[in-house]
Amino acid sequence: MAKYSKESGEKVEEVMHEMKEGKLKTGTGKKVTSPKQAIAIALSEAREAGDKVPKKATAKKAAGKKEKKQD
């Protein structure tokens, strides 16, 4: 299983709190309403800060995983 640093977990917690308060915005300025989108933003910010976060799944790998689950 993928390992995340303590700092990245704290970042996710902080961003989720912002989302629930309605203060979290996307890059285009729209309000974030999806928890999945909020987590993606938090992990992206954690990567930029240099925290330990597993690599993003590439589109090719993500598509392959979906195909396997449908079988």
pLDDT, tens only, 10-63: 999 999 999 999 999 988 999 999 999 999 999 888 888 988 888 877 766 666
Where in the sequence is the domain holding 17, given as residue range(s)? 6-54
In a domain, 34, yes or no: yes
Predicted pLDDT of residue 20: 94
In a domain, 10, yes or no: yes
Predicted pLDDT of residue 22: 93
Contacts of 34 (CB under 8 A, 6+ apart): none
Predicted pLDDT of residue 71: 57
In a domain, 1, yes or no: no
In a domain, 38, yes or no: yes
In a domain, 62, yes or no: no
Top pLDDT among 12 and 71 is at 12
In a domain, 47, yes or no: yes
On the 0-12 / 13-18 / 19+ scale of CB atoms within 10 A, 60 is: exposed
In a domain, 71, yes or no: no
Count of domains for the chain: 1
Contacts of 7 (CB under 8 A, 6+ apart): 46, 49, 51, 52
Predicted pLDDT of residue 58: 76
